[in-house]
Structure 1
Amino acid sequence: MVRGELARLAREGQRPSQLFLTCADSRLVTSMITSSGPGDLFVVRNVGNLVPLPGEESGDDSVAAAIEYAVDVLKVRSITVCGHSGCGAMQALLNSAPQEGRTPLERWLRHGLPSLERLAGDSGSWARLAGRAAADTVEQLCLTNVVQQLAHLRAHGSVARAQAEGALELHGMYFHVGEAQAYLLAGADEDKVFEHVTGTEEVPSPA
């Protein structure tokens, strides 16, 4: 069945309806999280599921290029930013904020500093899981980072234009690895509440 589907996609080309931006962590399997198949998702993975702000890419335009291609060329209808529990990038930010950028990893993690600054702000506005508090500071930063990267997405011209035209939706997701459970950012992300996805609810997936 997969071979036949791939043969069709080879003939007809890809038409994914969603850009799925998540962490490079090996425990995250996007097809399992979203119940998607070949050709459904245009996927971007990097350390910490970070979206550099326009003009602050530090010579690496790969994420910005993928966003532009997905929105302007592939005409995806939604973008999901998916963070996860136990993220090593978030732990690294908490352990030592990368100010000097002496290594490639430190330079990359500087794109996560706005998330750290948001976390240091008013605790009353922190992103949270419905029904329980974050397990620890790492989980709190993982949640906060999803909200912050959605804000970074809106700063990209292609995203702003598509949203203004009503052609694009943004979603936030948090995947708890130990629970094998997805949480979705409910409604407008200003509410910053991640709702538990039950068996009868849909994780954002291709139409």
Structure 2
Amino acid sequence: MQRTETMEKEGEGETYFTVIETASDTLDSSVKFHLVTDILSFVLFMHHQIPSLLQDLTLEFDELNTEFAELETAIVQAETCSLRRTHASRKREVRMGIRRVDKLMNTISSFKTALQLMITEFPAIQRAVLILGPSPLRPIHVYELNFSCDTAASGGHFTRNRVVEALSKKAIRVLISKGAGSSSSAGPTKLFLLVQAPSSINLRLHFLPKRDFRYNKKVISHRLSL
């Protein structure tokens, strides 16, 4: 894979545009899904919206839930009161850990479900935009992914593979080299996902339709084209 890079000035903002060349038959709908979610994880982490990458958070969350279930069983099976108290104390700690990230993990799960539904309905999506800011019209940070190749459907399977890993690492390295995430954060903010798709697609539980969307260009934006 090769890449070409340009920088454009738009108003008072700057746009870093990068082309990552790849074989057209590698960008199936599953690859697109994981690229968007991996960039999402990078964006949230680099802008201090989450304490660690989503993969690490997901692993930690799953481990806490597993430990919680094991502790419930251990309390029932404990032979002494002191052992039951020990397990109960640890169970309270684990429950607090689960509650700290439960809302975030549910939100991320809903995000992934919405994106999977969109890609399943329309595998040939050509543009996805991640916006951090108080509203889509007033972004603080903008990350745009453009897919120029025709897309094959993945049959509803969204498993990771070596193509995903390679493209994801490549894209994140490019973003880091262009200073993505280097600016200071203004504190907690909102994340918006915009996907360019035909108006005939109806996923109103997950996506609100918006025609001819334009955002404020007076920000630094990063565009990746694959």
Would you call these one fold, judging by a TM-score over 0.5? no
- TM-score, length-normalised on structure 1? 0.26
Say which structure is richer in helix.
2
Q: Which has the higher contact order (CA 8 A, sep 6+)?
A: 2
- TM-score, length-normalised on structure 2? 0.24
Higher-Rg structure is 2
